[in-house]
Amino acid sequence: MSSNTLNLVITGVGGQGQITLARVIAEAALLRGVNAIVAETHGLSQRGGTVIVHVRLGEVEAPLIPPGTADAILAMELIEAARYAYYLRKGSIAVVNDYLVPPPLPKIEVPSRDELLGIVRSYSDRVVLVPATHEALRIGDSRVANMILLGAAIKSNIFKDFIDFSSAEEAIKRVLGRAAKPNIEALHRGADLAK
């Protein structure tokens, strides 16, 4: 990562909150006076398909991150983490939800959790595995898993001077309004879970 930019890929399947997560990150950056550009792709997301969002912070002008140049990936699901790990550069960090969504098609052989993590580790120098969905279900709302992952990412020092917990909290209030409180709690729970 250049000290003036942060290239972040967010991925998962439809309904896991990747776009909301990207909005919160961009808003948090803007609150700190950092430029933010977001570009999303979500073809069949309403049928459980892939959603990938490019988030670029700092001195950036174009929205898309070329393969092999992302500083970090935030993955809401193991298969999608492996699928898009090729975006990562040497020295990158992957923050991955320890959760697997099997494809809804019959006769599809799903790689094991260890195989998927092996692929991610082959591209990333550091993998932070977070039981975000498990923890979100434990506290009663699966929709906050994305904020648990964000908390783990901030705690893992991905964002350095771009966003912090204070700006993320304010961004959550602005983006999510009345739903902010459980999401802010989830943000801090994610920080506790990061190792």
Q: What is the pLDDT of residue 156?
A: 95
Q: What is the mean pLDDT of the chain?
A: 93
Residue numbers of the chain with a pLDDT score lower than 70: 1-2, 42-48
Helix, strand, or coil (residue 111):
coil
pLDDT of residue 45: 58
Residue 105's pLDDT is 78
CA dihedral 129, 38, 13, 118 (to 10 degrees): -40
- Alpha-carbon distance of 29 to 35, in angstroms, equals 7
Q: Would you state the pLDDT for residue 44?
A: 64
Give the span between the Cα atoms of 174 and 3, in whole angstroms: 27
3-25, pLDDT tens digit by residue?
799 999 999 998 899 999 999 99
